[in-house]
Amino acid sequence: MDPPVIKPSISIVDDDEAVRDSIDAYLTIKGMQVKTFRSGLELLKCSGLHSDLYILDINMPDIDGFLLLEHLRAQGMKGPIIFITGLGDRALRLKASQAGAAAFLDKPIDTQLLLATIHRLLH
């Protein structure tokens, strides 16, 4: 008997419903377990949640991606972070890298690049 296939778990935090839903649908079709959150505060309320990888929007109204990352790390989260944003520039990319992000992707999201990045970070 073949061993069970373990699907990576991905948490997506983005205040833009269309972005959240499109990434969710794409990654689910590609065999991943996806949880979505409208805000960083919504994710932080899920005590004990663990994901293999987190996709965080940088610009959100309640708590930005950088502060969310700090809170997650303080809670012991060690999974890689992919920051996404529609307003990226060189300074923001540098700040993301210094904050510990494993990758930085611009919106609109290139789904093939996202999938390749996830595979690189998890394997």
Non-local CB neighbours of 116 within 8 Å, separated by 6+ positions: none
Is 88 contained in some domain?
no
Is 42 contained in some domain?
yes
Is 70 contained in some domain?
yes
User: How far, in whole angstroms, is CA 105 from its chain's centroid?
Assistant: 10
For the chain, what is the domain count?
1
Per residue in 46-100, pLDDT (tens digit) is 877 889 999 999 999 999 999 999 999 998 888 999 999 998 889 999 999 999 9
46 three-state secondary structure: coil
Which one has a higher pLDDT value, 89 or 27?
27
The CATH number of residue 42's host domain is: 3.40.50.2300
pTM: 0.94
- From residue 74, alpha-carbon distances to 27, 37, 53, 69, 70 in Å are 27, 19, 16, 9, 6
The residue whose two tokens read 């920051």 is 83
